[in-house]
Structure 1
């Protein structure tokens, strides 16, 4: 490692130099603590006696070689500050830690040979822009648990999870942070081990096996990464060498709203630490991408636009993303960002932040608020659902319905739907049809796919027994059908970020609370019609831009999904008569809270019609 580049914030492989690394005999330990008066090492290999570490080739870097050190052994650093105070720390670059409440780091055998070449060789640099990306977000400890309430390890989880993902039509998973953290209730967002997969679920090798098994089954894997703040436990990064080495020195900027410490991104050592951690997960675990948490708190001082842009943190994001793209051209970088800061997904060479996708928090909030509104008021909020397409092409958006929307008294997705128990299900089916027929990649948190009513609790597994109830079971089957349609129908994913591939067919029917639009790509077209009122509309007219022949792909009111309509009762007809500016009209029965999806199976030229509109892509 070039030490000067480390100090300048240019290093992406600092973990190969710092931390504990096995040698042919024993191991070498290195830690960066430039303001410490003394640094000592203790562990299994010394009977927990303290071993003095020395500054050798680089100032501020303390190191020692221990002949008796072996893989699996525990160790800590004892750091003495300038005042003589001693604090025991885990290794900032440690690759494994003991289970909380312990905090010792462990030596890891880094030898591992992945067997996922077929997957990695087929990844491209186009970031899935024109491919389907249906992401299942989950918390590894509370998706499913063993009968005794204990966790599955990473490999056991893969055995349970992969068949379920394939059945339900998810082709990506996104784990809440897997880096080590002391408090279960932080869900992994308050880290002490940025390079250590949490030992709650096993070893780094077992996590690598999980990723490998997912790839063998055609499933991509993302993980959350937290580049903005860290846990304030005294054995972690806080005042690491007796001074604020990783955090800001001033209280007004040091503390976050979550009771954590904010990284000081203007320090080169911090930049090298964080971008090396991001690179570590992509390189050593073959993750297909990372979702970066709380980006708004990096863009603005403490996330407050009124305090201004944190220019050095923005610079850090640009440089880190540019470096990660260079090292991993096919890796997908996603920003959880609720601001309107410009060019979040623009390339860094065009002054963008360099993310590939941005979570569309506005879409999420507007859509959920609309469905919470009583039908009598929906005509007044009609354009909450159409507003997203006014700005959609300003960034590359992903449509998230994440863990944050089903906790802390917010209610789950199904519970947010207006009305009583029975009314919530048809609305939830229409809700998800709208999401999947809307441009943008998809992300849904575990439990939403079978309409769980209980808010997520990280200590409990999901309420799988709820599937014994007919409406939940029917909803579960509906969701699988919808998700598979998204994966299979090119018009629902190709050209998502091309304005020519989307068109409203009805977006001026506020009194009826009814919408219609079409998606088209690669010679395929899908028309979606949606009624979000509590009224039955018989033969609702929708203009069609060409003389289509349609087949119905999906009706949220079908009996097999808990509705009242049989698939053989098509209840729609196409008439060669003009409607508004369109030459043809689709008349469709629309029960309350229903969405219907049609695929164009052909375009006809009617008799005595010479002015048929030209075809589209």
Structure 2
């Protein structure tokens, strides 16, 4: 008998149900250990999905989770948005493509290239912004978001210069929406928010909680209705500029917290991750959004 049943005898009448759930968890935990190297490694999907560089092999690999897809193609301005780069299906619903460097050493998909996925599903062909893109930017010609290959050359990468502050014993948090934190009636940038940091420090705060960091559908959602969880909001600037903001906050001794709720996933299908593989139960479920 588990100790919990001794601590709370009222649970004994539900022992079979509790043990059923515990055994199910143990089974999945073993599956993760056997196939993914453990739950911790499985949780680090950013090291597996999206664009991954293999320097010794002079190539990139792109991987996406599309369990119910029939076919999938990586399309973008690098191939004139044609179906010339098919992904190959693998285990556990993963689709991948190797992208060898060109003969002159240039990447097959250059830095700042815009791209999407074209997916053939049971219900027809759809286009999606990859779930693991590092940046998504609006294409003003068609008024939708595209993924952006974001991998600056070493000379253009922001290098963190200041150590992360020690965790304070007592938090005094300054919360702000980066886009509307300025004085003017417009969208402000990551770098413009740096000007507010001295005042935050002077007022005695030791932590900064920033909202609307992940790419989201519209300003009206106040940063929720997230469309890409690994892409900093392009309305405020680039990923490198976000790094500079965080690094500057660290220089002032401010702990930086990012407001991110994974349950606040956008139900959008054109620019969000809902129905990524054409089904209603890929990243989201049929009764979406919550409460519907």
- Quote how far apart the aligned CAs of 1:168 are: 2.0
Matched, 1:154 2:190: yes
Flag the 1:219–1:11 CA change in 2: closer, same or farther, 3 A: same
User: Which residue does the alignment assign to 1:41?
Assistant: 74
Q: What are the superposed Cα offsets for residues 142-199 of structure 1, whole Å, 9 maximum, x if unpaired?
A: 11055xx4433212221x1112112322221111131001111101110111100000
Instruction: Report the alpha carbon displacement of residue 2 of structure 1 after superposing the two structures with TM.
Output: 7.8
* Cα distance, 1:201 vs structure 2: 0.7
Q: Distance in 2 between matches of 1:218 and 1:241?
A: 44
Q: How does 1:189-588 map to 2 (within 5 A)?
A: 189-235=224-270, 236-243=272-279, 244-249=281-286, 251=287, 254-257=288-291
Distance 1:198 1:242 in 2: 25
Q: Deviations over 1:379-410 (max 9, x none)?
A: xxxxxxxxxxxxxxxxxxxxxxxxxxxxxxxx
Q: CA deviation at 1:109?
A: 1.4
Of 65, 75, 80, the residue aligned with 1:32 is 65
1:38 Cα offset (Å): 0.6
RMSD (CA atoms): 2.6
Q: Stretches of 4+ moved more than 4 A in 1? A: 6-10, 22-26
Please report how far the alpha carbon of residue 226 of structure 1 lies from its aligned counterpart in structure 2 after TM superposition: 1.1
Shift of 1:34: 1.4
Aligned 8 A contact 2:59 2:98 in 1: yes
Instruction: Decide whether aligned partners of structure 1 residues 107 and 138 sit closer, same or farther in structure 2, where only a CA change above 3 A counts.
Output: same
SS of alignment partner, residue 104 of structure 1: strand
For 1:136, the equivalent position in structure 2 comes to: 174
Task: Give the corresponding residue for 1:113.
Answer: 159
Going from structure 1 to structure 2, the CA distance change for 1:44 and 1:212 (only over 3 Å counts) comes to: same
Q: Does residue 164 of structure 1 match 2:203?
A: no
> CA separation in 2, counterparts of 1:6 and 1:95?
24
8 Å CA contact retained: 1:27, 1:70? no
Measure how far apart 1:112 and its partner are: 4.9
Task: Give the whole-Å Cα distance in 2 for the aligned partners of 1:23 and 1:44.
Answer: 22
* Structure 1 contact 78–87 (Cα < 8 Å) conserved: yes
Q: Secondary structure at the match of 2:179?
A: coil
Q: Which residue of 2 aligns with 1:82?
A: 122
In structure 2, C-alpha distance between the alignment counterparts of 1:34 and 1:9, rounded to whole Å: 22
Query: For residues 213-243 of structure 1, what are the alpha-carbon distances to aligned partners after superposition, in whole Å with 9 as ceiling and x for unaligned?
Result: 0101111111111122311111222221122
Instruction: Name the TM-score, length of structure 1 as normaliser.
Output: 0.37
Note if 1:173 corresponds to 2:208: yes
Number of residue-to-residue matches in the alignment: 243
Is the 1:41–1:50 Cα contact (8 Å) retained in structure 2? Answer: yes
- Cα distance in 2, alignment partners of residues 98 and 224 from structure 1: 21
Task: Report the Cα offset of residue 73 of structure 1.
Answer: 0.8
CA distance in 1, matches of 2:122, 2:34: 24
User: In structure 2, which of residues 72, 84, 89 is the aligned counterpart of residue 51 of structure 1?
Assistant: 84
- Tell me the TM-score normalized by structure 2: 0.74
Distance in 2, Cα, partners of 1:7 & 1:132: 34
Q: Secondary structure at the match of 1:229?
A: coil
- Structure 1 residues 19 and 2: alpha-carbon distance in aligned structure 2, compared to 1, 3 A threshold: farther
Is contact 1:26-1:70 (8 Å) kept? no
Mind listing any 5+ residue stretches in structure 2 that lack a counterpart?
1-31, 102-107
Q: Secondary structure at the match of 1:201?
A: coil
Structure with higher RCO (Cα < 8 A, 6+ apart): 2
The Cα offsets for residues 255-278 of structure 1, whole Å up to 9 and x where unpaired, read as 324x7xxxxxxxxxxxxxxxxxxx
Spell out, residue by residue over 1:457-492, the C-alpha distance to the aligned partner (whole angstroms, 9 max, x if none).
Answer: xxxxxxxxxxxxxxxxxxxxxxxxxxxxxxxxxxxx
Between the aligned partners of 1:153 and 1:59, the Cα distance in structure 2 is 39
**Could you tell me how far apart the structure 2 residues matched to 1:114 and 1:188 are?**
25
d(CA) in 2 for partners of 1:88 and 1:181? 18
Structure 2: distance between partners of 1:7 and 1:187: 36
In structure 2, relative to structure 1, the CA distance for the partners of 1:226 and 1:14 (3 Å cut) is: same
Q: Is the 8 A contact 1:75 1:105 kept in 2?
A: yes
Specify the SS of the correspondent of 2:230: strand
Do residues 4 (structure 1) and 6 (structure 2) align?
no
The secondary structure found in structure 2 opposite 1:185 is helix
Give me the whole-angstrom Cα distance separating, in 1, the residues matched to 2:127 and 2:258: 29
Partner of 1:309: none
Matched residues in 2 for 1:62 and 1:7: separation?
Answer: 21
For the 8 Å contact 1:140–1:175, the answer to whether it is kept is yes
**Residue aligned with 2:247, SS:** helix
Partner of 2:48: 17
Deviation of 1:63 (Å): 1.5
- Separation in 2, partners of 1:62, 1:216: 42
